[in-house]
Chain A
Amino acid sequence: MNAVLRLAALSAWSRRLTLGLTLVAIVLATTLLLAVERIRVDARQSFSQSVSGVDLVVGARTGAVQLMLYAVFHSGAASNNIGWNSYQAIAGHPAVDWAVPLSLGDSHRGFAVLGTRADYFRHFRFGEHEALRFTAGEPFASVFEAVVGSEVAARLGYAVGQEITLSHGIGETGMGEHGDKPFRVVGILAATGTPVDRTVHVGLEAITALHLDWVGGMPMPGLNIPPQLVAKFDLQPKEITAALIGLKQRSDVFRMQRFINEFRGEPLLAVLPGVALDELWQAIGTVERTLLAISALVVVVGLAGLTATLLAGLNERRRELAILRALGAGPRDLFLMLTAEGLLVTTLGALLGLALTSLGSSLAAPWLLERFGVVLGARLPGAGELELLGLVIATGLIASLIPGWRAWRMSLADGLTPRI
């Protein structure tokens, strides 16, 4: 049997060009499959870790998913705000370690504007409890200063010192410009792969200041308060959109959630971000499964190519098989020889595909983060990937059984004299 396998290897080597092309097809198919799987898992990971280290997200009573959508993804609008008093009551609760208010509703050239405190840069965590980093500048310190996310800076070409103006409302078509009160970019954040990259951060007081001379969503006719006079007003907001809460002890989270959900002052909602994000991902998970199914089809096509190559080669190898038969090889040996060849090519292709995926993902990781906000972790292949790899090899074995079986039949029919 060892002699047969050695001959199988030598025979395969003599046909290395054809087999090499088949191998390339299998490598590429496997790479595609594994890359889709890896991106799928990591996209989910980076999605569900869009915010971490935050124990509760608090907003006006609505659905958990909707609250996450506007508070974390800055997408859609809050139906209601939270009173400043309620916020203070929650922030002052003995179980609360820190609280960061969020105020949304304005935008800058399509990017959401988030009014918050400089604390935000200290407490906000994403991924594996990573803190925000500045690639340039520093947090805002005074009213008309702004910190922009990496994607905002990259797309609009902003550097520290850039003057920008904000628009009222969300989206490209703002409902009015806050053109009278320009901001200066003082800091640029490093890419995170989270909505932070697409956000302009300003102080909570700045949001109040912008709207001093606005009433009911419109600039008040005849009233115009210039920026230099803003400081004379009380810039304490009366309402905020949402708040991020960090607890002293994680074990208090359900007690605190109940406290907020049963808050007497107004109807509020507190959600655990991880749970809500998972729920949200479920809703958009069909796409990822479709993608996986498509790449599985590509693998099947690649393996069908392998089977076709082996079968096509078989006719030319009838002489070879007959010679081996005369030398004492049984039909079983020839079956083994053909099957081993297919399995070898598949296994080699699958392993090279894995190597290519690992290499490619480590090379492409920075670019993917920059362009698509997908965080690809440098790591060993996960259980899901190994499972797929096993499936590829198993399918390859099945595909190789067909030429093996043909060789068996052929050797029985041909005997020692191939009929060509």
Chain B
Amino acid sequence: MSALRITDLLFRWPRQSAPCLDIPRFELARGERVFLHGPSGSGKSTLLGLLGGVAVPQAGRIELLGQDLAQLRSHARDRFRADHIGFLFQQFNLLPWLSALDNVLLPCTFSARRKQRAEPDPRTAAKRLLTQLDLVAELWPQPAAELSVGQQQRVAAARALIGQPEFLIADEPTSALDTERQQIFIDLLLRETAAVGATLIFVSHDRRLAAHFDRTVALDEINRVKPGAVS
């Protein structure tokens, strides 16, 4: 069974005449770590929103871990996202007023499944992840706003990984880091993803990062809408 299977996807934003995504077919195997690139404005973020079930395509199927997202009501899609997907964003990933540790624990408050899968218990799991990601214990109780960008990204990675979600979606998570830290962070992310056997989609416009991944996909290879057509 594949981790993701997209067939005949068609998506258009409300109040826009032209479609933004037209993907006849796209598939990811379980445990695959894919680098997805494309210029900004090519619909990368939109695709991630569709995978997260935040938006619904006008036509076509998105099967995530064997589940057809269109079959789920919006509330169930929110639940599905919380249970199975870990997200990592560009920056401002964390709730600034929560401590680093509490930020990592957030998915466990939204998803009973992730809470249950965070072994032996969420706090221990969170501390283990933070340790593996080289965040010293003194920083754990600090409000996220007081951490450096690099530290914040590592906390965000721990949050995406806690409770062993099957799917990890990273949207330009390294763009706020310098080159050296980018390398370290990507290595870290790949190692941790492999450790839990998760599928990873890593989105970036920076093709130099592609070398680390199992497979590289350009969005305009799978999307029939050409970037110029999208405003």
Complex contact B78–A329 (CB within 8 A) = yes
In the complex, whether B202 has a CB less than 8 A from a CB of chain A is no
Q: Which B residues from 1 to 56 make CB contacts under 8 A with A?
A: 45-46, 48-49, 52, 54-55
CA distance A332 to B79 in the complex (A): 13
Instruction: Return chain A residues, CB-CB under 8 Å to B79.
Output: 328
Instruction: Return chain B residues, CB-CB under 8 Å to A322.
Output: 89
In the complex, whether B61 has a CB less than 8 A from a CB of chain A is no
Complex contact A417–B81 (CB within 8 A) = no
Instruction: Return chain B residues, CB-CB under 8 Å to A416.
Output: 45, 48-49, 52, 54, 87, 89, 171
With most chain B CB atoms within 10 A of its CB, the pick from A10, A320, A330 is A330
How far in angstroms is the closest Cβ of chain B from A313? 13
CA distance A325 to B106 in the complex (A): 12
Instruction: Return chain A residues, CB-CB under 8 Å to B111.
Output: 328
Instruction: Return chain B residues, CB-CB under 8 Å to A10.
Output: 97-98
Per-residue A-contact encoding for B67-90, CB less than 8 Å = 1, 0 else: 000000011001101110001010
Complex contact B45–A327 (CB within 8 A) = no
Complex contact A326–B92 (CB within 8 A) = no
Complex contact A326–B87 (CB within 8 A) = yes
In the complex, whether B93 has a CB less than 8 A from a CB of chain A is yes
Instruction: Return chain A residues, CB-CB under 8 Å to B89.
Output: 322-323, 326, 416-417
Instruction: Return chain B residues, CB-CB under 8 Å to A328.
Output: 78-79, 81-83, 107, 110-111
In the complex, whether A11 has a CB less than 8 A from a CB of chain B is yes
In the complex, whether A184 has a CB less than 8 A from a CB of chain B is no
In the complex, whether B109 has a CB less than 8 A from a CB of chain A is yes
In the complex, whether B60 has a CB less than 8 A from a CB of chain A is no
Q: Which A residues from 109 to 152 make CB contacts under 8 A with B?
A: none
Interface residues on A, range: 20 to 34
Complex contact B110–A3 (CB within 8 A) = yes
Closest to A12 in B: B97
Complex contact B54–A327 (CB within 8 A) = no
Instruction: Return chain B residues, CB-CB under 8 Å to A327.
Output: 82, 87, 106-107, 110
In the complex, whether B95 has a CB less than 8 A from a CB of chain A is yes
CA distance A217 to B74 in the complex (A): 92
Cross-interface CB contact of A323 among B46, B49, B52, B95, cutoff 8 Å = B95
Interface residues on B, range: 20 to 34
In the complex, whether A178 has a CB less than 8 A from a CB of chain B is no
CA distance A326 to B81 in the complex (A): 7
In the complex, whether B96 has a CB less than 8 A from a CB of chain A is yes
In the complex, whether B118 has a CB less than 8 A from a CB of chain A is no
In the complex, whether B129 has a CB less than 8 A from a CB of chain A is no
Complex contact A14–B45 (CB within 8 A) = no
Instruction: Return chain B residues, CB-CB under 8 Å to A332.
Output: 75
Closest to B52 in A: A416
Complex contact A14–B97 (CB within 8 A) = yes
Closest to B143 in A: A14
Complex contact B54–A415 (CB within 8 A) = yes
How far in angstroms is the closest Cβ of chain B from A19? 13
Instruction: Return chain A residues, CB-CB under 8 Å to B78.
Output: 328-330, 333
Complex contact A11–B95 (CB within 8 A) = yes
In the complex, whether A7 has a CB less than 8 A from a CB of chain B is yes
In the complex, whether B158 has a CB less than 8 A from a CB of chain A is no
Complex contact A325–B97 (CB within 8 A) = no
In the complex, whether A319 has a CB less than 8 A from a CB of chain B is yes
In the complex, whether B94 has a CB less than 8 A from a CB of chain A is yes
Instruction: Return chain B residues, CB-CB under 8 Å to A319.
Output: 92
Instruction: Return chain A residues, CB-CB under 8 Å to B98.
Output: 10
Q: Which A residues from 284 to 329 make CB contacts under 8 A with B?
A: 319-320, 322-329
CA distance A416 to B92 in the complex (A): 12
In the complex, whether A13 has a CB less than 8 A from a CB of chain B is yes
How far in angstroms is the closest Cβ of chain B from A83? 84
Q: Which A residues from 325 to 348 make CB contacts under 8 A with B?
A: 325-333
CA distance A320 to B78 in the complex (A): 16
CA distance A14 to B95 in the complex (A): 10
CA distance A323 to B104 in the complex (A): 12
Cross-interface CB contact of B75 among A7, A11, A320, A330, cutoff 8 Å = A330
How far in angstroms is the closest Cβ of chain A from B9? 16
How far in angstroms is the closest Cβ of chain A from B179? 24
Closest to B78 in A: A330
CA distance A329 to B74 in the complex (A): 11
Closest to A417 in B: B45
Instruction: Return chain B residues, CB-CB under 8 Å to A330.
Output: 74-75, 78
How far in angstroms is the closest Cβ of chain B from A317? 10
Apart from A13-B97, A330-B78, A415-B49, list 17 A-B contacts with CB within 8 A. Answer: A7-B109, A11-B95, A11-B97, A320-B96, A323-B93, A326-B52, A328-B78, A328-B79, A328-B81, A328-B82, A328-B110, A329-B110, A416-B45, A416-B54, A416-B87, A417-B45, A417-B48
Binding site for A on B (CB under 8 A): 45-46, 48-49, 52, 54-55, 74-75, 78-79, 81-83, 87, 89, 92-98, 106-107, 109-111, 171
List 17 A-B residue pairs with CB atoms under 8 Å apart, sorted by A's residue number: A3-B109, A7-B95, A10-B97, A10-B98, A14-B96, A14-B97, A320-B96, A323-B89, A323-B93, A326-B89, A328-B83, A330-B75, A333-B78, A415-B46, A417-B45, A417-B48, A417-B49
Give me the 9 closest cross-chain CB pairs, A-B, nearest first.
Answer: A328-B82, A14-B97, A415-B49, A328-B110, A3-B109, A330-B78, A326-B87, A415-B54, A417-B45
